[in-house]
A and B are shown apart, each in its own frame.
Chain A
Amino acid sequence: MAKKQSREASHAWRHIFIWGMILFALFPIYVVITSSLNNSGGLSTSSLIPKKISFDNYRSLFNDDSIPFMRWILNSIILASLNAVISVMVGIAAAFAFSRLKFKGRKLSLQALLLVQVFPSFLALAAIYVIMERIYNVFPSIGLGTMWGLLLVYLGGSMGANAWLLKGFLDSIPADLDEAAKIDGASSVQIFWLIFLPLSVPILIVTTLLSFIGTFNEFVLASLFLQEVNERTVAVGLQSFVGSNFGANWGAFAAGSVVASVPLVALFLSLQKYVVSGVTAGSVKG
């Protein structure tokens, strides 16, 4: 009995500490939700407990013609999902070659890939800008200022990390499997499509999700590329509400944040188990 009490006491610090951390974690989320329901304009103006609840901010988000909020969300979803799907598909193919096929310069290119994937692509920002400007002069639809140009830059940027992560997974698939298939006369293309791709579905989901979240959060390149109001992503659009020193519209920003994050948080929590295994495998969220 005494022992049990002392154990409970030794657990007390855990509860206190954890509750402190939970308050810390939830405070901004609480503030943004109450601010979105408050039409007076700030992130919590006078009190932390809302006195009056109003849905004006949400209404203006969907009805105000000067705020193409749904377009922004759509742009972000199109960019993030195309980038995630294409880069993961192209990535898994490359990962298969690096993991299973023999070719000249394989080890060297792998080491190069390992180094390249640690560099964030926006470090070469000025160069990307100049290059895409030149591309724009020849091909206006895929150059600077367009979503498709931005998608190309994103694809290049996510290729290295995705290929590396996926190769790590493919390495863990036992070699007996493809050797047996080879003896049965299967070509590498068949082995890839019929054996490796089906086996990789879980890791493909994780990589796609992480890629999607990464692109959804990307701000620098998007703000440099997309100047037109209608072309913006949700990150650039929401920042424009509060980025200027004058006339910050925190209410609309808060409502927009709630709308945009609910699906993402739901997706994240529902795939929590996979995500945790994915991040533990070594990717850092951007």
Chain B
Amino acid sequence: MTSKFRKSLALIAKFVLLAITVGILGNMAYLAYLANEGLMGTVLAVLAVGAILIYSTPRFTASKFFYPGIIFLLLFVITPVIYTAVMSTYNYKDGNLITKDQALTQLIDVTGIVPDESGVSYEYIPGRCKGELAMLLKNIDTEEVSLACDSRVTPLAEGQYTIDEFGVPTGAEGFTAFVGDEQFAYDEEIANLKFKIEDPAADNRYIRADGAGMAFDAIQTLTYDAEKDELYNTVNGLTYVNNGNGNFVNPNNPDEKIFPGWRQLNPAQNYAKILTDPVLRDPFIRVFIWTIVFAFTTVVMMGFVGLLVAVALDKRIRFRNIYRGLLILPYAMPSFMSILIWAGMFNRDYGAINTLFGTDLDFFNNPWSARAMLLIVNLWLGFPYFYMISTGALQALPTDLEEAAALDGATEKQIFFRIKMPLVLQILSPLLIASVAFNFNNFNLVYLLTKGGPTNVLDGETAGATDILITYAYKTAFAGAEQNLGLASAISVIVFIIVGIVSLWSLKRSKVLEEVR
């Protein structure tokens, strides 16, 4: 292969790859616009244009190398972080997940339309008319037939519709009935539609389907006044006002909320709740303290034991290589598995620990034994790592220092404690800090071992004795009785800030930021 041939081959490959990438991105952008996701479409389109700009010209050399990496980082790390911050400023939880427009549509068109007292009911045939979903209705009592089409009900005179041998209407002018599987495919959508009954006496009467082949005379019970931003209940005459926090409520009883609500911007609410509401604040403070205590204690334990092992094996003793291989086994095992194995070993009824010591202890139900368990298991998981890096540090020490000290008459003990140890700790300190930051968020360990428990469920608490901030946020968002995404995001933001400060401080200390070249 000549180099010229190779060059043109590479060029062709490059443009084919570029064309495929841009094609896929462009197509995805188009689909996103179709689905009303304007922002997503714009992002995808910008990505496609960026790829063309960067890769089809000889300029932007550096961008050619980091473009894909930066995109992944921006889309799946930076965006979620920003999104978390935004979510934390909303009242965003079960019952308040949709936008206000969606909530109003739901309230006016679905929740606010209920069967009236007349009890008039219909059989219906689903179909289409004027391109929209429609129903051909037959009154069960009077057997009169009408067409629900274009949001309105029109009574049909005999001859305007066709019936089959059982008297069931099958078609009408402008109406096409669904056949086969289609009959059932739209049940749910039809149940979300309302069709107005023309009635000079009342203008709030509708017909709506129940999604299972029956339809009813119904009445509009909720109406919305956009100017006052109020909701009226036409049946009991009550007015519901916007409480400014994502719900319409009865002004005389603010706890009487109308659902669904919407996600309402309320910037300080979640943070204020964490800081002032005793139901949240007390567990939050407890969890916060335990997170810090756990992160530091566990790293000190792992570091100390790891270093001790390294020192013990620093001399050429027999079987050193075999010992080394056996001692790093815990680090080589998949950690999620080891944690689950330990959880089984601590089990009261059939765990190996109780069998070994002949005891009958319930480690998971006592806060202190549960905490001790976390530390022991994490020691097992982590000491080999510190053993490895301590060995590296000990071997990296310059020998001339030791010799000079020996010449000056220092004893072996003095050399060890006054010269070697300070140097080793200096080498280890950035890794110890990194490990504290890691254990600050050691979700796997806590969640797989104790699930944060023991939890005082009877007191209605969600935070357990071993919960750390990240598992507490996870429970708040996904595992509680009520999923509160806004509150969970606020907890995450607080953790972000703490981790950020710790990392900035440690980076400043080690001068890495300034030394970046």
B40, B443, B512: which has the most chain A beta carbons within 10 Å?
B443
CB of B248 closer than 8 Å to a CB of A: no
Q: B residues 299-341 with Cβ under 8 Å of A?
A: 305, 308-309, 312-313, 315, 317, 323, 325-338, 340-341
In the complex, the answer to whether A42 meets B351 with C-beta atoms within 8 Å is yes
Stretch of A17-25, A50-58, A64-72, A198-206 contacting B (4+ beta carbons < 8 Å): A17-25
Cβ–Cβ contact A264 & B332, under 8 A: yes
A189 partner residues in chain B, CB cutoff 8 A: 61, 64
Binds A, one of B69-77, B158-166, B174-182, B206-214: B69-77
Q: Mark each residue of chain A from 131 to 173: 1 if its CB lies under 8 Å from any CB of chain B, else 0.
A: 1001101110000000000001101110110010000000100
Which residues of A have CB within 8 Å of B437? 118
B184 at the interface (CB under 8 A from A): no
On whether the beta carbons of B334 and A261 are closer than 8 Å, the reply is: yes
Interface size class of A (residues with CB under 8 A): 35 or more
For the residues of B in contact with A, the DSSP-based class is helix
A14-B312, A126-B488, A261-B334 given; A224·B478 CB < 8 A: yes
Q: Which chain B residues border A285 with CB–CB below 8 Å?
A: 331, 335, 385
Give the contacts of A14-51 with B (CB-CB under 8 A): 14-15, 17-18, 21-22, 24-29, 31-32, 35, 41-48
Closest residue of chain A to B81 (Cβ to Cβ) is A124
Assess whether B447 is in contact with A220, with CB atoms less than 8 Å apart: yes
Partner of B37, one of A42, A45, A138: A138
Residues of B within 8 A of A192 (CB): 65
* In the complex with contacts A14-B315, A44-B351, A48-B352, A119-B68 CB distance below 8 A: no
Write the chain B residue with the least CB distance to A155: B72
Most buried by A among B73, B349, B435, B503: B73
| Chain B, residue nearest A40 (CB) | B350
CB of A268 closer than 8 Å to a CB of B: yes
- The A interface, classified by DSSP as helix, strand, loop or mixed, is helix
The answer to whether residues A119 and B77 also contact, given A18-B323, A94-B70, A220-B443 and a CB cut-off of 8 A, is yes
- A219, B388: Cβ atoms closer than 8 Å: no
Shortest distance from the beta carbon of B400 to any chain A beta carbon, whole Å: 23
Chain A residue, CB-CB nearest to B333 = A261
Is A230 part of the contact surface with B, judged by Cβ < 8 Å? no
B83, B309, B325, B384: the one within 8 Å of A124 (CB): B83
In angstroms, Cα B350 to Cα A11, docked, is 39
**Which of B79, B312, B485 is A17 in contact with, Cβ under 8 Å?**
B312
Contact A123 B496 (CB under 8 A): yes
Q: Is A195 an interface residue (CB 8 A)?
A: no
The distance from the CB of A100 to the nearest CB of chain B, in whole angstroms, is: 9
A93 within 8 A of B: yes
Residues 488-517 of chain B, each 1 if its beta carbon lies under 8 Å from chain A, else 0? 110010011001100110010000110011
Q: How far is the CA of A91 from the CA of B334 in the complex (A)?
A: 24
Restricting to B5-33, which residues have a CB under 8 Å from any CB of A? 28, 31-32
Give the shortest distance, in Å, between B87 (CB) and chain A (any CB): 6
A224-244 contacts to B (CB < 8 Å): 224, 235, 238-239, 242
Residues of A within 8 A of B151 (CB): none
Which of B332, B337, B435 sits near A257, CB closer than 8 Å? B337
B70 to chain A, nearest CB (A): 7
B347 touches A265 (CB 8 A): no
The reply to whether A139 and B31 form a contact with Cβ atoms under 8 Å apart is: yes
Query: In the complex, what residues of A have CB within 8 A of residue B78's CB?
Result: 116
A284 within 8 A of B: yes
Contact with B along A270-286 (1 / 0, CB 8 A): 00100010011010111
CB distance B443 to A44 under 8 Å? no
A92 vs chain B, min Cβ distance (A): 9
CB-based nearest A residue for B39: A134
Most buried by B among A21, A91, A130, A160: A21
Whether A253 pairs with B336 at a CB distance below 8 angstroms is no
Of residues 461 through 501 on chain B, the ones whose CB sits less than 8 Å from some CB of chain A are: 470, 473-474, 477-478, 485, 488-489, 492, 495-496, 499-500
Q: Is B250 an interface residue (CB 8 A)?
A: no
Q: B380–A25 contact, CB under 8 A?
A: yes
Selected from A126, A131, A137, A138, the residue in CB contact (under 8 A) with B477 is A126
**B392 contacts which of A94, A107, A276 (Cβ < 8 Å)?**
A276
A272 CB, nearest partner CB in chain B, Å: 7
Known: A121-B77, A216-B334. A280 touches B389 (CB 8 A): yes
- Residues of B within 8 Å of A125, CB to CB, are 473-474, 477-478, 488, 492
27 pairs, A vs B, C-beta closer than 8 Å: A29-B330, A43-B344, A43-B345, A43-B351, A94-B65, A94-B68, A94-B70, A97-B65, A116-B77, A119-B77, A125-B478, A126-B87, A129-B485, A134-B40, A139-B28, A160-B73, A213-B334, A220-B447, A224-B478, A235-B336, A239-B340, A253-B344, A254-B341, A261-B334, A280-B392, A284-B385, A285-B331
Given A103-B61, A254-B344, A279-B389: 18 more A-B contacts, CB < 8 Å: A17-B308, A18-B309, A18-B313, A25-B330, A43-B341, A122-B470, A123-B495, A124-B77, A124-B81, A125-B488, A130-B485, A155-B72, A156-B76, A235-B337, A257-B341, A260-B337, A264-B333, A282-B434
